[in-house]
A and B are shown apart, each in its own frame.
Chain A
Amino acid sequence: MYNQNLKNKYNALFNIVQRLKEKKEQAQPQKEKTTIPSNLNPVEQEELQKQIDQQAYQWLVQQHQPRTTWLRNTILAFLVGGIICTLGQIIQNYFRGFGLTLREAGTVTVFIMVFLGAFLTGLGIYDKIGKYGGAGSIIPITGFANSIVASAMEFKREGYVYGVGARLFNVAGPVLTFGFIISVLIGLLYYFFT
Chain B
Amino acid sequence: MQQPIKKIGKQTLQFMQPPVVLSFASIVGPMEGKGPYGSAFDYILEDTLFGEKSWEKAESKMLRETIKMTLQKANLTAPDVDFMLAGDLLNQIVAANFAAREITIPFLGLYGACSTMAESIGLGSILIDGGFAHRVIAGVSSHHHTAERQFRFPTEQGVHRPLWSQWTVTGSGGILLAREGNGPVITHLTVGQVVDLGIKDSNDMGAAMAPAAVDTLIRHFQDLNRQSLDYDLILTGDLGTVGLKLTWELLKMEGYRVENNLKDCGVLLYHPEQDTHAGGSGCGCSAVMLCGPILRRVVEGAYRRVLFVGTGALLSPTTVYQGESVPSIAHAVVIEYIPPG
Contact = CB atoms under 8 A, between A and B. Distances in A.
Contact of B149 (A64, A68, A128, A154): A154
Interface in A52-73: 53-55, 57-58, 60-61, 64-66, 68-69, 73
Contacts of B320: none
A92 interface: no
Nearest to A121: B156
B207 A61 contact: yes
Interface centre among B149, B155, B211, B222 (most CB of A within 10 A): B211
A54 to B, nearest CB: 3
A172 to B, nearest CB: 12
Nearest to B275: A131
Nearest to A142: B158
A150 B155 contact: yes
B50 interface: no
Given A61-B207, A133-B158, A12 B219 contact: yes
A149 B249 CA distance: 44
Contacts of A129: 158
A154 B155 contact: yes
Given A57-B211, A61-B207, A149-B156, A66 B242 contact: yes
B153 A150 contact: yes
A101 to B, nearest CB: 32
Interface stretch (A15-23, A33-41, A102-110): A15-23
A174 B86 CA distance: 38
Interface string A133-166: 1110110000100110111011101000000000
A129 B222 CA distance: 50
B163 A69 contact: yes
Interface stretch (B72-80, B100-108, B190-198, B332-340): B190-198
Interface string B144-156: 0000010001111
A58 B198 contact: yes
B253 interface: yes
A65 B207 CA distance: 9
A171 B119 CA distance: 36
A60 B155 contact: no
Nearest to B57: A157
Contacts of B222: 12
B32 interface: no
Interface residues of B, number: 39
Contacts of A20: 253
A131 B160 contact: yes
Contacts, number: 116
B143 to A, nearest CB: 13
A168 to B, nearest CB: 11
A64 B156 contact: no
Interface centre among B159, B163, B197, B218 (most CB of A within 10 A): B197
A13 interface: yes
B162 A127 contact: no
A153 B253 contact: no
Contact of B158 (A53, A137, A154): A137
B195 A13 contact: yes
Given A54-B197, A61-B246, A69-B163, A131 B158 contact: yes
A153 B249 contact: no
B158 to A, nearest CB: 2
25 contacts: A12-B214, A12-B219, A13-B195, A13-B197, A13-B211, A13-B215, A61-B242, A64-B242, A65-B242, A66-B163, A121-B158, A126-B158, A127-B158, A129-B158, A131-B158, A131-B160, A133-B158, A138-B158, A138-B159, A143-B158, A146-B158, A150-B153, A150-B154, A153-B154, A154-B154
Interface of A: 9-10, 12-13, 15-17, 19-20, 51, 53-55, 57-58, 60-61, 64-66, 68-69, 73, 121, 124, 126-131, 133-135, 137-138, 143, 146-147, 149-151, 153-155, 157, 170-171
Interface of B: 53-54, 56, 149, 153-164, 193, 195, 197-199, 204, 207, 211, 214-215, 218-219, 222, 241-242, 245-246, 249-250, 253-254, 278, 325
Given A65-B207, A73-B160, A130-B160, 16 more contacts: A12-B214, A53-B197, A57-B197, A64-B242, A65-B164, A68-B162, A121-B156, A126-B156, A128-B158, A131-B160, A133-B158, A138-B158, A146-B156, A150-B158, A154-B149, A170-B154
